[in-house]
Amino acid sequence: MRHVHGRARRAGATLAALLTWAGLLAGAAGCTSGGSGGIGLGGALGASAAPEDVIRISPDDGSKGVAPGEPLRVRVPDGRLESVKVVRSQDAQESQVPGRIAQDGLSWEPDERTLGLAARYTVDAVAVDDEGHRSARHTTFTTYVPDERFIAYVTPENRTTVGTGMIVSLDFSREIEDRAAVERAVQVTARPPVEIRPHWFGKGRLDFRPRAYWRPGTEVTVSLKLRDVQGAPGVYGLQYKTFSFTVGRSQVSLVDAADHTMEVRRDGELLATVPITAGAPKTTTYNGKMVVMDMLEVTRMNSRTVGFGGEYDIPDVPHAMKLTNTGTFLHGNYWSPNAPGRVNVSHGCVGLRDVKGGSSDTPAGWFFDRSLVGDVIEVVHSKDTTVAADNGLGGWNMTWQRWTGGATRG
């Protein structure tokens, strides 16, 4: 009987142990109640604490329309954060948000303090107490979706080779109220390095240039980090891109409106002297430095588009090179063949001798074939004012002091 009772006692002890382990396992596998998005193991950082009390995440789980300036933080009151992973889903792409846990292990913050707009954030955090027990929390929130955006139209085009007078120009689709914030989001660098400074023209245009014309061979990179930058109340940038261009050889041409000539200099050496016709006495040509903005084999010129009424409409102007926004061109002229070199007859443009349809054998064709967007055309001795700095790429007509005085730094 003693043997039977001993076996019974051992069986009872074994059953009790199994039941105890089963209870512990059940407790370990069960989800902690009362913690939205949280999973806590029994005893982890306090068995009675809800996960949101153990790991505190802001913005709150399930938040919508979170403002970009609201801080993203993960904290614990004691113990330490073991890991934090934050994923941003934006424009159908996912990316991990870089950040760091503080030295004391009590908090985590992202490297970039501004949240992306129109994005969904997922936060997964694990904390551990002094006894090695872990607690985990999973939350999500979405950010503000703006109704209004702005972009910048950039000159010059990506991967082009330009003349030494090129100015980087950004025309914004909306007026910019916070110019300092937008300016900080644009970076223009050069190799070899050179000082490049910005200048604002009103609220809609931001230009960049060095003190003097670019050195030939310079590689220029423009980085636009405008996405989610607030340019005006409720209006946010859309672009995040980088583009570059290369500066070619130097070519600067000097137009003497009184002498009816144009000296073309390549890398400082006189290449040719070309006869020209400039603006007539009542429609003079601007003085000053102008930069070739566009080159057209042929274009139509209608006086009504530049405020001259119905004085002319030429459907096939050859070798046209745009110099200002207000309609100043350097172009081929076949309708006044005897004017270049003798008399000024144009409505403000600079004309070179050409033939109908254009030809590489004419002065206009010769010059066109040897020109680049970004080349400089300087006009002197015209009975007109100096072209405005914001009329085309006329910023070279400003002193460096005036140019840098117009920069907006925040």
- What region does 161 belong to: left with phi over 0, alpha with psi -120 to 50, or beta? beta
Residue 31 appears among annotated catalytic residues: no
Are residues 281 and 344 in contact, defined by beta-carbon separation less than 8 angstroms? yes
**Given 138, 331, 347, 381, the catalytic residue:** 331
Query: DSSP letter string over 358-393?
Result: --TTSHHHHHHHT--TT-EEEEES-SSPBPPTTTTT
Give the count of beta carbons closer than 10 Å to the beta carbon of residue 362: 20
CA distance 74 to 110: 10
**Given 199, 260, 347, 349, the catalytic residue:** 349
CA distance 267 to 248: 10
Query: DSSP letter string over 244-289?
Result: EEEE---EEEEEETTTTEEEEEETTEEEEEEEEE-B-TTSPPPBEE
Residue 336 has phi, psi (to 5 degrees) of: -130, 70
CA distance 394 to 379: 12
> Measured between alpha carbons, how far apart are the two ends of the chain, in Å?
94
Are residues 329 and 301 in contact, defined by beta-carbon separation less than 8 angstroms? yes
Neighbour-count burial of 240, counting CB atoms closer than 10 A to its CB (0-12 exposed, 13-18 middle, 19+ buried): middle
CA distance 352 to 278: 9
Specify the residue for token string 């400082």: 268
Could you give the 3-state DSSP secondary structure of residue 214? coil
Residue 331 appears among annotated catalytic residues: yes
CA distance 170 to 18: 75
> Taken in order 351, 352, 355, 358, is the CA torsion positive or negative?
negative
Instruction: Using alpha carbons, select from 339, 343, 348, 378 the residue that is nearest to residue 258.
Output: 343
Pairing, β 376-380 against β 107-110: unpaired
The residues assigned a catalytic role are 331, 349
